[in-house]
């Protein structure tokens, strides 16, 4: 199968039929073999009935319904697991992403051999309270992650199937799938300017809190990606430095006590700073040590992403 299109749906009853027809038109014009997977993320407006009707009309359209609203990341992760296409396209269900971009995205993955291509809504039809914070966080993400993209949160993206089968998206990490893919070893990440249409139906599902949560998620991804398997390198190093600073303070106070002045060490505020530094240093070091023990005993400690094999019919990755 050439393409799997994954569409998270949350209260988009008006737009689902139009989007399905639009995708079908593009696929048929380009002679793609395809599937479209609608993930109903606990909609309350009858979206699932529309999805069911679409799947009965065309066997290439499929639907998965969550019992309740779990969020976009959960919907995408479920779609990734169910997809069978060589190239996977994700897009939002609100008709702001154009299916007409699919052929070029497919070409960039198959012919130009990108691991992933992210859409860039260069000209956006959104209010300033969305575009200005978005530019700030996109710039911060590009700076921290080292990935040169203008629009990390664009819903229209294309992936080689190896990418989506090798990563897991949870919480609200859908905003940073390029970062997750990079840490998984997929470094050829491209960008394409895409058409962005104004919203016709419904209203946006995200508020200002998404920017706060998004920044915290970015820090989590960066930390786990760099130190998830070696927490001692982070906590142990910081703990050692903090403890050493406190120890130097204690030595200085001891020297001045015995050789320079008559006073009690506990009378000087510097004493408490030194004591606090040593206590924090020990705690940070122990946190790194415990993290290292947990990491080494984790079930998936020996699971690695294998790019290619030669002369092997099957390679087991479990503990058996």
What are 114-129's pLDDT values in tens digits? 999 999 988 876 666 6
Asked whether the predicted pLDDT for residue 81 surpasses 50, the reply is yes
Higher pLDDT, 250 or 106: 106
The more confident residue out of 210 and 103 is 103
Query: CB neighbours (10 Å) of residue 56?
Result: 10
For the cut 70, the answer to whether the pLDDT of residue 262 exceeds it is: no
Q: Which two tokens stand for residue 44?
A: 């309350």
Query: Quick one: tokens of 175?
Result: 């905003």
Least confident among 14-18, 169-173, 192-196:
169-173
Q: Cα separation of 159 and 271, whole Å?
A: 57
Closest CA to 87 of 197, 165, 198: 165
Q: Strand order in 189-193's β-sheet? A: 61-65, 34-40, 3-9, 87-90, 157-160, 116-120, 189-193
Residue carrying the six token digits 């690695």:
304
Q: At what angle do helices 16-29 and 102-110 cross, to 10 degrees?
A: 50
Distance CA 211, CA 207 (A): 8
Q: What's the pLDDT score for residue 301?
A: 44
Return the percentage of the chain with pLDDT > 90, whole number.
45
Q: What pLDDT is recorded for position 199?
A: 78
Mean pLDDT for the chain overall: 84
Closest among 266, 156, 270, 169 to 220, alpha carbons compared? 169
Pairing mode of beta strands 61-65, 3-9: unpaired
Task: Name residues whose C-beta falls within 8 Å of residue 154's C-beta, 6 or more positions apart in sequence.
Answer: 97, 118, 119, 120, 121, 194
Beta strand spans in the chain (E): 3-9, 34-40, 61-65, 87-90, 116-120, 157-160, 189-193
The 10s digit of each residue's pLDDT in 115-173 is 999 999 888 766 666 667 778 778 877 887 888 898 888 999 999 999 999 988 887 78
pLDDT number for residue 297: 66
Q: Model pTM?
A: 0.73
209 versus 189: the higher-pLDDT residue is 189
Mean pLDDT score, 187-200: 89
Q: What is the DSSP letter of 14?
A: T
Report how many helices (DSSP H) and strands (DSSP E) the chain contains, helices first: 10, 7
* pLDDT score recorded for residue 316: 47
| R_g over Cα of the chain | 26
For 268-300, the pLDDT digits (tens) are 788 889 899 999 999 988 888 887 777 666 545
Pick from 47-56, 193-202, 205-214, 250-259: least confident: 205-214
pLDDT of residue 299: 46
| 185 φψ region: left (φ > 0), alpha (ψ -120 to 50), beta (else) | left
């Amino acid at each position: 199968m050439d393409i799997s299109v994954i569409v998270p749906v949350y209260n988009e009853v008006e737009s689902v039929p139009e989007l399905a027809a639009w995708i079908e038109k593009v696929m048929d014009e380009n002679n793609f073999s395809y599937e479209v997977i609608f993930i109903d993320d606990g909609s309350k407006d009858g979206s699932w009935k529309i999805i069911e009707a679409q799947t009965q009309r065309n066997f290439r359209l499929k639907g998965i319904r969550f019992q309740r609203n779990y969020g976009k990341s959960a919907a995408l992760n479920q779609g990734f697991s169910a997809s069978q296409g060589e190239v996977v396209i994700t897009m939002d269900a609100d008709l702001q992403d154009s299916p007409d971009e699919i052929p070029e995205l497919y070409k960039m993955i198959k012919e130009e051999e990108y691991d992933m291509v992210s859409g860039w809504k260069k000209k956006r039809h959104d209010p300033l309270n969305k575009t200005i914070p978005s530019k700030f966080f996109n710039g911060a993400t590009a700076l921290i992650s080292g990935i040169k993209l203008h629009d990390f949160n664009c819903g229209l993206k294309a992936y080689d199937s190896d990418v989506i089968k090798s990563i897991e998206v949870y919480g609200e990490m859908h905003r940073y799938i390029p970062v997750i893919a990079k840490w998984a070893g997929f470094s050829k990440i491209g960008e394409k300017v895409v058409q962005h249409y104004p919203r016709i139906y419904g209203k946006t599902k995200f508020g200002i809190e998404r920017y706060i949560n998004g920044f915290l998620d970015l820090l989590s991804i960066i930390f786990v990606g760099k130190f998830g398997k070696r927490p001692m390198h982070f906590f142990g190093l910081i703990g050692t430095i903090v403890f050493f600073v406190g120890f130097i303070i204690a030595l200085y106070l001891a020297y001045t006590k015995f050789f320079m002045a008559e006073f009690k060490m506990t009378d000087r505020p510097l004493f408490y700073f030194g004591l606090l530094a040593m206590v924090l240093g020990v705690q940070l070091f122990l946190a790194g040590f415990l993290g290292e023990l947990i990491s080494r005993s984790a079930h998936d400690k020996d699971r690695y992403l294998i790019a290619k094999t030669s002369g092997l019919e099957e390679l087991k990755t479990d503990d058996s």
